[in-house]
Amino acid sequence: MTNTVPVITIDGPSAAGKGQLCQEMTKILKWNFLDSGLIYRVLALLTLENQINLSVEEDICRVAMQLQVLFYSKNGKVQVILEGKDVSTKIRNQNISIIASKIAVLPCVREILLSFQRKFRLPPGLITDGRDMGSVVFPDALIKIFLDANLSERVNRRKLQLQKNGFSVNFNNLIDQIQERDERDRQRSSSPLLLAPDALRIDSTNIPMKQVLGIALNYVYKKLSLL
């Protein structure tokens, strides 16, 4: 059965501003929101805490199959409850980002997570943040946006974000980590990060978020008016 609930996908590399754009759009449109990166981050945390070897694909996929996680929104930020504990801060550190990106290359993990992610498609609409939202998870999405920015701008943004969350940051390590993660996300054979042919690309390098939001909303309203 086809799902007619409209979807807006926001894909792009790490720290391009997807999270902030989604947060603002969710507030305005009052639609549901899925931050798909959080799912990979929760899996990374479970792998780490259960000392699962990253090279044993079956073990990671077993964890993915049993995944039970709860998301809820508090003051516009997604909170994550895993096995009764709030892991919202823990999963947003750099070490978890790296493990999440390594786990995300595994085809069985991506396959298992497909149905989990599609369950978020509920009325009145869904806004999703990720790497393969428009290309693989919701290929029939009404509106696809690819948010980009150059590497140094993205590293600066992530540095500020990490510092705001109380993490200490080594700038040079951060450049290497983001570059390595981007490369892994773009090069993997299963659902790589790419610009879907029917997506609007916005380069946010030199434009403030308020303007990015304006461009995105204009595009969204234009598409919605055609329904």
Binding residues vs ligand DC (CB under 6 A): 14, 36-37, 40-41, 97, 100-101, 104, 130-133, 181, 185
Which residues have C-beta within 8 Å of that of residue 134, sequence separation ≥ 6?
9, 11, 141, 144, 145, 146, 196, 198, 199
Smallest separation (angstroms) from ligand DC to the CB of 111: 13
User: Shortest distance, CB of residue 186 to ligand DC, whole angstroms?
Assistant: 10
The nearer residue to ligand DC, 153 or 224, going by C-beta atoms, is 153
Cis peptide before 13 (omega within 30 of 0): no
**Whether the Cβ atoms of residue 79 and residue 153 lie closer than 8 Å to each other:** no
Quick one: 140 or 222, whose CB is closer to ligand DC?
A: 140
Our CB check for ligand DC shows the closer of 31 and 191 to be 191
d(CA 61, CA 208): 40
Q: Judging by DSSP bridges, how do beta strands 69-74 and 85-86 pair with one another? A: unpaired
Least Å distance between CB 81 and ligand DC?
Answer: 17
Q: How far is the CB of 184 from ligand DC (least distance, A)?
A: 7
Nearer to ligand DC, 152 or 218 (CB): 152
Q: Nearer Cβ to ligand DC, position 184 or 224?
A: 184
Both tokens of 201, joined, read 């690309």
Which residues, at least 6 apart from 188, have a Cβ–Cβ distance to it below 8 Å?
Answer: 104, 105
Burial (CB < 10 A; 0-12, 13-18, 19+), residue 200, is: middle
Q: Rounded to whole angstroms, how far apart are CA atoms 124 and 115? A: 19
> Please, what is the minimum distance in Å from the beta carbon of residue 36 to ligand DC?
4
